[in-house]
Structure 1
Amino acid sequence: MVRDTPLFSRTHVLILLCEAEEIIERIKSHKGVQAVLVVNQEGVPIFTSSTDEFAIDHAALISQLAAKAKSTICTLDANNDLTFLRIRSKKHEIMIVPDENYALIVIQNLVSSTESDTNCGNFKGT
């Protein structure tokens, strides 16, 4: 006999939430991480490691940028999809992992150029 069961039990949801919290804590522990955001499809933050004001301001704009990038990728190749977007400015690096219903956004302060050279093995290119 097969019983009707919900897709996710309450215990399963709690386990997933604990795993998500562990992952977010691990991301936050990286050097220079300023904020970790999880946003819904509308760009509304549903989790933030920063202030609410910072999260609201950044989530909406970054979500719009990610949506435009996703649209561009699909326009160029209908069989392709955006899986990761990384943007680097003079001060920050923004990493976006879009999903069907949510997106993970990490904003990281850049390390100084001397630290960066050390971390990259002083690679100067040819």
Structure 2
Amino acid sequence: MTSTTAPPEVEATLNRLASYKNVQGVLILARPNGIILRSTGSLFALPPATAAAAAHAGDDEGVEGTSNGAEPVAAPTTSETARAYAKAAVRMVEAVGSEVRDVDEDKADDLRFLRIRTKRHELIITPDEQYILVVVQDPTH
């Protein structure tokens, strides 16, 4: 789980979302670059070996967390799955948002909510000016 200092109401909202039985993961992304500010949920959890390396990244003992036994290397704090979903979400928001603006003659309309359902997952994406909230849930529940 990636963590940054967030207001208590944001933490409460994330905990509430993550507590639903069908929610597999939640991402909060910075806009427009898609940097993962916060991730939670089983879908975005680090593999056990990577999580252990992240916990010991600051240790000077041992070889874990080093490159060629020399300088320490920062252990990843987000999973590859989280990064893939973040990249896809940003691209979808950009593409669909552009199409929404193209349809509106005054160019005053903006994308507010996007829901995509596949066989394995349902993505609920809520963009705003500074952030993108992505909730991934199991559509079979």
TM-score under structure 1 normalisation?
0.73
Residue-by-residue CA offset, 1:51-90 (whole Å, 9 max, x unaligned): 3122111101111111111111011111211110000111
Aligned counterpart in structure 1 of residue 35 of structure 2, from 34, 37, 44: 44
Give, as a single letter, the amino acid of the residue that structure 1 aligns with 2:110: D
Q: Distance in 2 between matches of 1:86 and 1:110?
A: 12
Listed as ranges, the matches of 1:18-37 within 5 Å are 18-37=8-27
**Runs (5+) with no aligned partner, structure 1:** 1-13, 113-126
Q: Distance in 2 between matches of 1:46 and 1:23?
A: 15
How far does residue 32 in structure 1 lie from its aligned partner after superposition?
A: 1.3
Larger RCO of the pair (alpha carbons < 8 Å, separation 6+) = 2
TM-score under structure 2 normalisation?
0.65
- 3-state SS in 2 of match to 1:43: coil
Q: Distance in 1 between matches of 2:16 and 2:93?
A: 23
Check if 1:100 corresponds to 2:135: no
Q: Distance in 1 between matches of 2:30 and 2:89?
A: 12
Residue-by-residue CA offset, 1:10-67 (whole Å, 9 max, x unaligned): xxxx8x7100000011111112111100001111111000231221111011111111
Aligned counterpart in structure 2 of residue 63 of structure 1, from 90, 100, 109: 90
Q: Residue 59 of structure 2 corresponds to which residue in structure 1?
A: none
Task: Report sequence identity in percent.
Answer: 33
By percentage of residues, which structure has more helix?
1
